[in-house]
Amino acid sequence: MSSLTLSGQMRTRIGSSLKTRLMLAFMVTAAVPIVFVAGLLCFQASRTLERNLFEYLEGMSGAKAQTITASVRAMKQEVATAAVSMRLAASMAHTQNATFAEGAESRGQLVDNLNRILRGKEEFEEVFVVSSSGTILESTSPDNNGRDVGGSIYFKQGSQKTYVESGMSAEGSGEYRAVIASPIKDAGGERLGVLAARLNLAPLFEIVTDVTGLRRTGLSYVGAIVDDQARILSPLRNETQSTAKTAVGLGSVAAVPIRDAVRGRNGQGIVPDYRGTSVVAVWLHIPEMGWGLVTKIDLEEFREPLRAWMIQVCFMGLFVLVITGIGAHLLTGKIVRPIVALTDAAERFSRREADVKIDISSEDEIGKLAASFSRMVAAIKFFKEMGEEKP
Amino acid sequence: MSLYEDVIVVAEQYMGPAAEQFIARRYKVIIGPDDPRLLVAADIVRLAEAIGIAGAAYMTDPKAAAFKKEVLALLEEKK
């Protein structure tokens, strides 16, 4: 306390210190609820946006998966129907049993039948018949005539029932292809061979790659298991055709969506994609083709509106804080000013300054303290004068 | 309460423990050497005037004026 008598600097320090503390108290009182409410709003907005986006992506993926499944089923139905055609069976039987001289005519009929199946159907790239021994008898792509496909899965499975095989071409072309195969039987039910159709995947990929409503970074793609890897088949955004080059190991921790989808697992989440970038993704398995379908939007883009909203909230919070700061400054000034004046008077009086008068007229505690101090000063001065007058 | 006691009550608000002596001194200077407890309403105006002038030495002018005003108000109350 003795240091109070040293200088006016001490007075200033005490006053500003109290003011600073009061201002801080006001600011903290205002800031804590603002930060809490802003944080809560941001959290809720984030959750709502996330939920809505997942629902949206889920709907979009589901629609695409359904369209692909329906298309493949329709194609299966078409191949199966063509395979049981009596005309096809007859021409095939005739071809297989024909003598060399008759062969040309019967083969011509078979090709006509195949071309009739292919005509006007962009979903098939090639239609061909395979003999019961596994050799391509006739194809709409004549280069493939005579090729042995007896070892292929579609031939083996297609000999029993209508079957879809998708995967890398076993003939060594290195292409990904899908083949629908269905058994050809004669009138007596005897198996003559297999009718097979190689699918044109482009229309299916078009369904997948439609990015309508997927914003700037959104896209859908399908993949399949190829050589123990999850390989993306459809063209990615801004690509015109499939490269089928992007592949992820099935045991990899990256590219969760495609890795899980090709293995038959459906899901959704914020996960790293094949680029290692965090995405908001929904993934589905399409059993009909053995494909995994992924629809995603980059997390960064998803957070853009949230970030903009958070910046707005921060600015609003800052504005409220500034207003609170100004209010606190004015209010604390009003509170502290009489205390500083009283401190100043007390200090001057303690330094034996005679002309100490305080003009604080408030009715609060500070006013009462000032009045008491004023009375004390008046009494002391009076008694002092009286004492000086006595001798 | 007598008028003197009323004046003392008012004076204590401004002069604290020195109230009685302050009033006695003003009485002595303005009215005479009698006992200040004999203060009558007729003396109040002069006493209040003296309080206003002398009080300004111990407190701010507005406060001294308020002191004087409160003493004069006693006159109204006694009427």
ipTM metric: 0.90
CA gyration radius, chain A = 43
Tell me how close the Cα of A361 comes to any Cα of chain B, in angstroms.
9
Q: How confident is the model at residue A8 (pLDDT cuts 50, 70, 90)?
A: very low
Out of B18, B25, B62, closest to residue A378 by CB: B18
Question: What DSSP element (H or E) covers B69?
Answer: helix B61-78
Q: How confident is the model at residue A353 (pLDDT cuts 50, 70, 90)?
A: confident
Chain A residues with CB-CB distance to B63 below 8 A: 357, 359, 374
Helix axis angle for B61-78 and B3-15, nearest 10°, is 160
CB contact under 8 A, B14 and A378: yes
Q: How confident is the model at residue A383 (pLDDT cuts 50, 70, 90)?
A: very high
Asked if the model's pLDDT at residue A227 lies above 90, the reply is: no
Tens-place pLDDT, residues A235-288: 887 665 555 567 777 777 778 899 999 999 999 999 998 888 899 999 999 999
Chain A residues with CB-CB distance to B18 below 8 A: 378-379, 382-383
Question: What DSSP element (H or E) covers B65?
Answer: helix B61-78
Mean pLDDT of A328-332: 89
| The domain made up of A48-72+204-303 is a member of CATH 1.10.287 | no
Q: What is the pLDDT of residue A284?
A: 96
Mean pLDDT of A208-229: 88
CB contact under 8 A, B18 and A376: no
Tell me how close the Cα of A14 comes to any Cα of chain B, in angstroms.
25
Domain ranges of chain A: 2-34+306-389, 48-72+204-303, 74-200
Choose from A89-93, A198-202, A360-364 the range with maximum mean pLDDT: A198-202
CB contact under 8 A, B21 and A378: no
Tell me how close the Cα of B12 comes to any Cα of chain A, in angstroms.
8
Q: Give the number of A-B residue pairs with CB atoms closer than 8 Å.
A: 43
Tell me how close the Cα of A364 comes to any Cα of chain B, in angstroms.
16
CB contact under 8 A, B59 and A379: no
Q: How confident is the model at residue A97 (pLDDT cuts 50, 70, 90)?
A: low
Q: How confident is the model at residue A5 (pLDDT cuts 50, 70, 90)?
A: very low
Asked if the model's pLDDT at residue A58 lies above 90, the reply is: yes
Of A44-48, A107-111, A190-194, A243-247, least confident by mean pLDDT is A243-247
Q: What is the pLDDT of residue B70?
A: 95
Fold of A74-200: Beta-Lactamase (3.30.450)
Q: Of the candidates A329, A316, A71, which has an alpha carbon nearest to the alpha carbon of residue A207?
A: A71
Whole-structure pTM value: 0.67
Chain B residues with CB-CB distance to A378 below 8 A: 14-16, 18, 55, 58-59
CB contact under 8 A, B17 and A379: yes
